[in-house]
Amino acid sequence: MIAQHPQRPGSRLLAEVIAETPGGERIVHCLQCGSCGGSCPSGADMEYTPRTLFAMINADRRDEVLSANTMWACVSCYFCTTRCPQKIPITEIMYTLKRMAIREGKAKGEDAPALARTFTDLVEKYGRAYEVGIALFYLGMKKPMAALRAGPMGVSMFLKGRMALLPQRIQRIDQLQAIIRKARELGGAA
């Protein structure tokens, strides 16, 4: 385990993450409490928990951080962010790390593109994330045991009205799809 330590002034990676993430300066306040990893539905699939990743960022371990699957396993549920006692924008930091990994050619394996493709396909089709679809199409096919482990949490979220069983399309989905088509034409989207 990587021990907690104060911000290293020489950590270029830390400086970049802070600069590229809205609210990213809060990362230096990480207490290493583990609330983020403990509340993460994808934690079991991550190479490193967010707190470990933050310590690695602070230690300027760029290659290890950007080659990790942690940010790709993040499903953007914001559980970690809402439970963080230091109000660190953890999910936003995961987005930053994804962008950095893509920019530097560090996105590895088939999991990152497969999960991203599943997510983007569902957003393009319905206009919003569809958690059950992600579980069925990605976890169900690629990681069936992870899908089974996530089952009780999914049922709990459904019963509390936090997750729809069937997908719900946004109004004017045609406008979103036109924007996506135009972005693809311009080379701005996959």
**Fold of the domain spanning 12-103:** Fumarate Reductase Iron-sulfur Protein; Chain B, domain 2 (1.10.1060)
Instruction: Give domain limits for the chain.
Output: 12-103, 111-185
**Residue 69: pLDDT above 50?**
yes
Is pLDDT at 4 greater than 80 in this prediction?
A: no
> CA 135, CA 140: separation in Å to the nearest integer?
6
> pLDDT tens across 26-45, in order?
999 999 999 999 988 888 77
pLDDT band at 10 (very low <50, low <70, confident <90, very high): low
Phi, psi at 85, each rounded to 5°: -70, -15
Residue 187 DSSP code: T
Residue 45 one-letter amino acid? D
Segment 175-189, tens digit of pLDDT: 999 998 888 888 754
Please indicate whether residue 59 or residue 73 has the higher confidence score (pLDDT): 59
What average pLDDT does the segment 62-80 reach? 90
Burial of residue 70, with CB atoms counted within 10 A of its CB: 0-12 exposed, 13-18 middle, 19 or more buried: buried
Q: Would you state the structure tokens that stand for residue 39, as one six-digit string?
A: 């509340």
Three-point CA angle 86, 12, 53, nearest 5°: 45
In this structure, what token pair is assigned to residue 36? 């983020």
For 84-102, how does the pLDDT look when each residue is reduced to its tens digit (9 = 90+)? 999 999 999 999 999 999 8
- Identify which of 25-34, 104-113, 138-147 has the greatest average pLDDT: 25-34
The C-alpha R_g of the chain, in whole angstroms, comes to 17
CA distance 168 to 171: 9
d(CA 97, CA 65): 8
Residue with tokens 């499903």: 75
Dist. CA 108–CA 47, nearest whole Å: 13
Please report the sign of the dihedral spanned by the C-alpha atoms of residue 49, residue 54, residue 57, residue 58.
negative
**What is the model's pLDDT at position 95?**
93
